[in-house]
Amino acid sequence: MRVPLSWLREYVDLPATETGRDVQAKLVSAGLEVETVEQLGAGLKGPLVVGKVLTIEELEGFKKPIRFCTVDVGTANGTGEPQEIVCGARNFSVGDKVVVVLPGAVLPGDFAISARKTYGKTSHGMICSGDELGMGDDGSGGIIVLPPEHEAGTDAIELLELVDEVLDIAVTPDRGYCLSMRGVARETATAYGLPLRDPALLDVPAPNSFGYPVQISDPTGCDRFTARTVTGLRPDARSPIWLRRRLQKAGMRPISLAVDVTNYVMLELGQPLHAYDRSRVQGAIGVRRAEQGEKFTTLDGAQRVLDAEDLVITDDRGAIGLAGVMGGANTEIADHAEEQGTTDVVIEAAHFDPVSVARTARRHKLSSEAAKRFERGVDPQAASAAAQRTVDLLVLLAGGTAEAGVTEVIAPSAPHTITMPADHPDKVAGVAYGRETVVRRLQQVGCDVYGQDSLTVTVPSWRPDLAEINDLAEEVIRLEGYENLPSTLPKPPAGRGLTERQRLHRRVGRALAGAGYVEAPNYPFVSEQVFDQLGLDNDDPNRRVVKLVNPLSDEEPALRTTLLPGLLATLRRNDGRGSHDLALFETGLVFHPREETVRAENPPVDRRPTDEEIAALNAALPEQPRHAAVVLTGAREQAGWWGKGRPADWADAVEAARTVAREAGAELIVQQGQYGPWHPGRCAELCVFLEHADGVAADGSEGEIVVIGHAGELHPRVIKALGLPARTCAMELNLDVLAEAGEGTLRAPRISAFPVATQDVALVVDQDVPAAVVEAFLRDGAGELLEDIRLFDVFTGEQLGEGKKSLAYALRFRAADRTLTVDEASAARDAAVARAAEVTGAVLRGA
């Protein structure tokens, strides 16, 4: 809502010194969001005067038509001689009154005017358009032509009210009444403690039976309809300057007198109005719901197919208006310039159901000034005053005659009354306002208030948003000033801190960052083609995706089932920007449709949903486990003065998984794997052992090994398809399952102070025997004396034979209660080797 300060002063006697910024501050603290205060005519300096065009000489030989004019500007130029001005506009004739800016003046935008040579003549000033004066669009498409009654030489700055301040207010959905000068004036009057001149307080004739016939067949959709008729309008009557200027300042374009007047009254009182050309309405006006599929052309020329919920205004032929949204082309007021100008109009001032209007406006993607107001609630009591005001203005400005017939169809309704404890606002605010203040503030809002400890509050007709006691509390608190609220702290009960899960998520982030990874959270939107690029099988479960109805990009309509697409895109982006050594990580949700869902119904909102209802809602949602992933490329260790660097490789990716698992306190089982995105020979399958939730299973097992992810080097085909640097590596795992596998409270190890006995063994095994398996059985065979085992060398060579490798381990033995003898340590080592040999076929090297 754009509110010109000069207009606002008509309803509230603000001190003359108050600026727009002062009023802004007052209204902001009263709860109106005044976004800007526009300074109209800032920097404007005269002389800017009314001129009468005396002569026009068409200049030939230029690319566009140019006129050389002489203009009578009275004595404004000091000489009284005609002013010579060159002008490129053509929408004026000899004798027209125009606006002339003379040399020495400054127009908005620091545009200084001086005499200058142009088109072979000297132009002593300029004939102005609305744009040049900062007036906004006046619909003229050229320079301003003034009504003839203004004298040449008159100051146009004052005449056109060029200097003003305009408050631009973003009106929240609950304050529909502030979409009117009346509403903003009421808030201003309250904020300043000044009386309000309510423009809706008009003498209105009583309804009678000889007004224009109106039939309401849907009184819930339309609970009030006032119709008035004005005849004998001068078809050539134009809106006076003051009215056009107010519309322009409020952001509307002047169109024709009848339309301008209805818009003006809407801005003033907040009541949307419609003027029908009576000669084009056939029979009684009706209000009904549309037929499904009914066709109708609105004022904007668009043909609409109506829905059975749309409320329409009709005459004998059918729809003539989309109620509260937009009128029809078939009864449009004819422009004064046309031959068949409108002389008789029927004025509609009605009240429509906000929800119905909102739905219709949304359904037809048709937001109008009227719909905006009806959606937020219009004062039904203002309808007859608004109709009267429109009639008065038409009579005054277009010489019409008000017909005596007054139609008012009103569905009876009682005013809304709320019972509220007098101290409720105090309790909401935490401030002791006291009953007196509460009552006074509610009365300022327009409420009738009765009662002592319990107040009976009748809310004013323009405040349909006041429905509950907290709404009333808000009115009191905001008028007393939110800025005056004290600052206190509640005392919550003792807290429990973060959950185990939350702590784990933080630890994982810190551990990966500590290992050199940079966190990169990515959008979850993916294309389905990316699964082809990742080399997933056709039946891979990760191809089952949750899709969006309205994705931002049609290329990426799905939600991720894996973090890799986003992370790899970010890796590529960084690489493209010149960062080639990269280690990135992300933890976040992925989304999997459930195997089957039952479509639930929405529970009501007037009670807590039952556990069954909640379970049904949750069952309608996809699974949303949290994953952790890393991607790497380039150097993992930089080359430098210390020596050579080391490229990132598959082992770093596996190590990242171990890092995450360590934070979860889970034992990670790493085995050879094969999965789409990864290099088939360099892919680790990441597993954990999960205990059965309910103890030992029927087959005697205590749990099962579950695959939670993969790590390694990416497949060359994937690298090519996604345009990644060669040898890019990646790891991804399911953090939720990993967390499940985590140990509870750690039991401290027993530390022996006896000396360690170290024994090295080198075992020769087949190439395809995993080192982890050899180690597992060495451990198994070594028994409890084994403190630690470390693989310190892997060797292949001719002397070992084809397809063999040598694994060298350092075994550290120690006893808790004594120094081990060499024999004891050797016996343990031999047992370890024997066990490994038995299972893996390992042979002691050199044996």
Q: What part of residues 493-512 is at the interface with another protein (CB under 8 A)?
A: 493-499, 502, 506, 509-510, 512
- Could you tell me the CA-to-CA distances from 823 to 784, 788, 814, 820, 826 in Å, in that order? 16, 18, 13, 8, 5
Single residue of 520, 688, 731, 735 touching another protein by CB under 8 A: 520
Single residue of 6, 9, 10, 30 touching another protein by CB under 8 A: 30
| DSSP output for 262-276 | HHHHHHHHS---EEE
21 binds another protein (CB under 8 A): no
Structure tokens at 757: 């006995």
Single residue of 117, 577, 747, 750 touching another protein by CB under 8 A: 577
Nearer to another protein, 370 or 584 (CB): 584
728 binds another protein (CB under 8 A): no
Backbone angles phi, psi at 530, to 5 degrees: -60, -25
Rounded Cα gap, residues 571 and 582, in angstroms: 7
- Find the helix or strand (DSSP H, E) in which 146 lies: strand 145-146
Close Cβ partners of 753 (under 8 Å, ≥ 6 residues apart): none
Of 245, 247, 253, residue with least CA distance to 267: 247
Single residue of 122, 443, 579, 819 touching another protein by CB under 8 A: 579
Nearer to another protein, 218 or 426 (CB): 426
581 binds another protein (CB under 8 A): yes
For tokens 């892997």, the residue is 794
Nearer to another protein, 278 or 359 (CB): 359
Q: Do 71 and 98 meet the contact criterion of CB atoms below 8 Å apart?
A: yes
Q: Both ends of the chain: CA-CA distance in Å?
A: 95
Close Cβ partners of 405 (under 8 Å, ≥ 6 residues apart): 208, 210, 211, 212, 228, 229
515 binds another protein (CB under 8 A): yes
What radius of gyration, in Å, describes the C-alpha atoms of the chain? Answer: 42
Residue 324 CB, shortest distance to another protein, in Å, is 14
Residue 523 CB, shortest distance to another protein, in Å, is 5
Q: Do 376 and 173 meet the contact criterion of CB atoms below 8 Å apart?
A: yes
Nearer to another protein, 450 or 482 (CB): 482
Give the contact letters, 307-346, x = binds to another protein (CB under 8 A), - = no: ----------------------------------------
Residue 550 CB, shortest distance to another protein, in Å, is 5
Single residue of 229, 444, 561, 574 touching another protein by CB under 8 A: 574
Single residue of 290, 545, 654, 828 touching another protein by CB under 8 A: 545
| DSSP output for 84-102 | EEEE---S--TT-EEEEE-
CA angle 442, 486, 435 (to 5 degrees): 30
**Binding residues for another protein restricted to 644-703, rule: CB under 8 A:** 645
Residue 517 CB, shortest distance to another protein, in Å, is 4
**Binding residues for another protein restricted to 617-636, rule: CB under 8 A:** 617-618, 620-622, 624, 636
Give the contact letters, 122-161, x = binds to another protein (CB under 8 A), - = no: ----------------------------------------
Of 721, 563, 597, 583, residue with least CA distance to 648: 583
Rounded Cα gap, residues 651 and 718, in angstroms: 19
Nearer to another protein, 348 or 474 (CB): 474
Nearer to another protein, 6 or 29 (CB): 29
Provide the 3-class DSSP secondary structure of residue 809: strand
Residue 557 CB, shortest distance to another protein, in Å, is 8
Nearer to another protein, 439 or 631 (CB): 631
Nearer to another protein, 39 or 752 (CB): 39
**Binding residues for another protein restricted to 430-469, rule: CB under 8 A:** 430-431, 468
Nearer to another protein, 187 or 403 (CB): 187
| DSSP output for 616-629 | HHHHTSPB--EEEE
Amino acid letter, 696 = V
Q: Is 493 exposed, middle or buried (0-12, 13-18, 19+ CB in 10 A)?
A: exposed
CA angle 278, 281, 282 (to 5 degrees): 125
Amino acid letter, 541 = P
Provide the 3-class DSSP secondary structure of residue 212: coil
Nearer to another protein, 391 or 479 (CB): 479
Structure tokens at 314: 């009709």
Residue 596 CB, shortest distance to another protein, in Å, is 6
Nearer to another protein, 29 or 527 (CB): 29
Single residue of 2, 6, 9, 28 touching another protein by CB under 8 A: 28
**Binding residues for another protein restricted to 339-378, rule: CB under 8 A:** 355, 358-359, 362
Give the contact letters, 161-200, x = binds to another protein (CB under 8 A), - = no: -----------xxxx-------------------------
Q: Is the bond preceding residue 47 a cis peptide, omega within 30 degrees?
A: yes
Amino acid letter, 828 = A
Rounded Cα gap, residues 72 and 102, in angstroms: 12
Nearer to another protein, 210 or 482 (CB): 482
Close Cβ partners of 31 (under 8 Å, ≥ 6 residues apart): 175, 478, 482
Rounded Cα gap, residues 374 and 382, in angstroms: 13
Single residue of 103, 205, 551, 665 touching another protein by CB under 8 A: 551
Single residue of 489, 693, 751, 822 touching another protein by CB under 8 A: 489
Single residue of 17, 79, 209, 488 touching another protein by CB under 8 A: 488
Nearer to another protein, 66 or 656 (CB): 656
Rounded Cα gap, residues 448 and 446, in angstroms: 7
Residue 549 CB, shortest distance to another protein, in Å, is 4
Give the contact letters, 587-616, x = binds to another protein (CB under 8 A), - = no: -xx-x-xxxxxxxxxxx-xxxxx----x--
| DSSP output for 579-625 | --SEEEEEEEE--B--S---PPPPPPSSSPPPHHHHHHHHHTSPB--
Rounded Cα gap, residues 632 and 634, in angstroms: 7
Residue 472 CB, shortest distance to another protein, in Å, is 10
Per rule CB under 8 A, count of chain residues that contact another protein: 112
Nearer to another protein, 469 or 776 (CB): 469
Q: Is 173 exposed, middle or buried (0-12, 13-18, 19+ CB in 10 A)?
A: exposed
418 binds another protein (CB under 8 A): no
**Binding residues for another protein restricted to 84-113, rule: CB under 8 A:** none
Nearer to another protein, 722 or 807 (CB): 722
Single residue of 301, 490, 744, 797 touching another protein by CB under 8 A: 490
Contacting range for another protein; rule: CB under 8 A; set: 3-11, 318-326, 342-350, 542-550: 542-550
Residue 107 CB, shortest distance to another protein, in Å, is 25
**Binding residues for another protein restricted to 44-83, rule: CB under 8 A:** none
Rounded Cα gap, residues 82 and 80, in angstroms: 7
Residue 585 CB, shortest distance to another protein, in Å, is 8
Contacting range for another protein; rule: CB under 8 A; set: 302-310, 421-429, 695-703, 745-753: 421-429
Amino acid letter, 157 = I
